[in-house]
A = this chain, B = another copy of it.
Amino acid sequence: MIVILKKNASKESFSELRTKIESLGMTIHESQGEETLLWGLVGDTSKINIDQLRANDVVAEVRRIQEPYKATNRRMHPEDTVVDIGGVKIGGGNFQVIAGPCSIETAEQISEVARRVKGAGAGLLRGGAFKPRTSPYAFQGLEDEGLRLLLHAKEVTGLPIVTELMGTSDIGLFRDVDLIQIGARNMQNFRLLKEVGKLKTPILLKRGMSNTIEEWLMSAEYIMAGGNENVILCERGIRTFETAYRNTLDISAIPMLKEKTHLPVVVDPSHAAGIRNMVEPLSMAAIAAGADGLMIEVHNNPAVALCDGPQSITPDAFDTLMEKIRKTVSFFGKNM
């Protein structure tokens, strides 16, 4: 940690601050430049409250050198984490496609889509029961009933299931869910993160639409700090000035995450663009950039889908896409 000190402060205030820092077990390496006085703080800087340091009158600026995340940090855990979701493995060379409708609507719809995506080779079935919607007047999901239908589809097809948890009070209902999704809008709902940190169920943590990679890893850290080490990160597009698509897929996040963390990284090309025709090129790009999986919206009849129809593809289109995905995953050296 680097502390840049103000120029004209008194010797007393410097020595007061020095005593305070040293009392925390840190050593100070002083560097007096022509214009600036710097202190390099050596020791376990995690004990330091940066805000307190910054608020000190003699301090001009504080800069952290080390990443603030530990459990998620590849430096501490060089090996890729492989997450096992009901027998299906993701990460460490294992690639998976998660597919299904935005929201569960009827028994027929989810069963039909489940059957088709399984046939096409998807490893997991997704489907929303509780839906976060911008408008209170929009369809909010079938809720408990939706979850029941999804569990039934799991039973019939044998596919592990993924669905979004919106609040701590629903956790009891999610006992048989194989992979619990934390949505983009809840990426910094720290209460929810702490609760799922107490579970053993794998967590799919979507990136908030304007959260940095560091903030995202800190949210994963909340889950891991609670004891749940089964975290998968899901890039789903960030908010930028560009309005040609709903979000801007941050493809660079994939190689950056691969360097910074050992956790598996999945890409959601459906939400990233919000446009059906872009699902294929963005899927290809994600595989090429090193992703460990894809999450794709499939609906048996997008024109009547209660949500996200514009970005959903049909089971037939999914069949064709899966052919390409399989070949591309193999070309880039992963197993599927």
Query: Which residue, of A32, A191, A222, A302, has the highest number of chain B Cβ atoms within 10 A?
Result: A191
Tell whether, in the assembled complex, residue A248 and residue B259 are in contact, meaning their CB atoms are under 8 Å apart: no
Query: Taking A242-B212, A252-B272, A254-B281 as contacts, is the C-beta distance between A55 and B310 under 8 angstroms?
Result: yes
One of A36-44, A84-92, A111-119, A172-180 contacting the partner: A36-44
Query: Which residue, of A4, A43, A51, has the highest number of chain B Cβ atoms within 10 A?
Result: A51
Q: In the complex, A258 Cα to B282 Cα: how many Å? A: 13
A240 contacts chain B at the CB level, 8 A cutoff: yes
Q: In the complex, A226 Cα to B175 Cα: how many Å? A: 30
A21 contacts chain B at the CB level, 8 A cutoff: no
A10 contacts chain B at the CB level, 8 A cutoff: no
With a cutoff of 8 Å between Cβ atoms, the chain B residues found around residue A66 in the complex are 35-36
Tell whether, in the assembled complex, residue A241 and residue B244 are in contact, meaning their CB atoms are under 8 Å apart: no
With a cutoff of 8 Å between Cβ atoms, the chain B residues found around residue A281 in the complex are 254-255, 258, 288-290
Tell whether, in the assembled complex, residue A252 and residue B225 are in contact, meaning their CB atoms are under 8 Å apart: no
A221 contacts chain B at the CB level, 8 A cutoff: yes
A93 to chain B, nearest CB (A): 16
Q: In the complex, A132 Cα to B304 Cα: how many Å? A: 39
A2 contacts chain B at the CB level, 8 A cutoff: yes
One of A148-156, A163-171, A315-323 contacting the partner: A163-171
Query: Taking A52-B305, A56-B303, A240-B241 as contacts, is the C-beta distance between A222 and B136 under 8 angstroms?
Result: yes
A265 to chain B, nearest CB (A): 12
Q: Taking the full assembly, how many copies of this chain does it contain?
A: 4
Tell whether, in the assembled complex, residue B166 and residue A167 are in contact, meaning their CB atoms are under 8 Å apart: no
Tell whether, in the assembled complex, residue A303 and residue B191 are in contact, meaning their CB atoms are under 8 Å apart: no
> Interface residues of A, CB < 8 Å — how many?
105
Tell whether, in the assembled complex, residue A188 and residue B332 are in contact, meaning their CB atoms are under 8 Å apart: no
A149 to chain B, nearest CB (A): 20
**CB-contacts of A23-62 with B (<8 A):** 29-36, 38, 40-44, 46, 49, 51-52, 54-57
Q: In the complex, A250 Cα to B57 Cα: how many Å? A: 27
Tell whether, in the assembled complex, residue A42 and residue B32 are in contact, meaning their CB atoms are under 8 Å apart: yes
A309 contacts chain B at the CB level, 8 A cutoff: yes
Q: In the complex, A136 Cα to B228 Cα: how many Å? A: 14
With a cutoff of 8 Å between Cβ atoms, the chain B residues found around residue A40 in the complex are 29, 31, 33, 38, 40
A122 to chain B, nearest CB (A): 20
With a cutoff of 8 Å between Cβ atoms, the chain B residues found around residue A199 in the complex are none
With a cutoff of 8 Å between Cβ atoms, the chain B residues found around residue A221 in the complex are 135-136
Q: In the complex, A287 Cα to B289 Cα: how many Å? A: 10
Q: In the complex, A277 Cα to B194 Cα: how many Å? A: 34
**CB-contacts of A175-218 with B (<8 A):** 185-186, 188-194, 209-210, 212-215, 218
With a cutoff of 8 Å between Cβ atoms, the chain B residues found around residue A306 in the complex are 49, 51-52
Query: What are 7 A-B contacts defined by CB distance under 8 Å?
Result: A35-B66, A38-B40, A68-B135, A136-B218, A169-B169, A238-B240, A238-B242
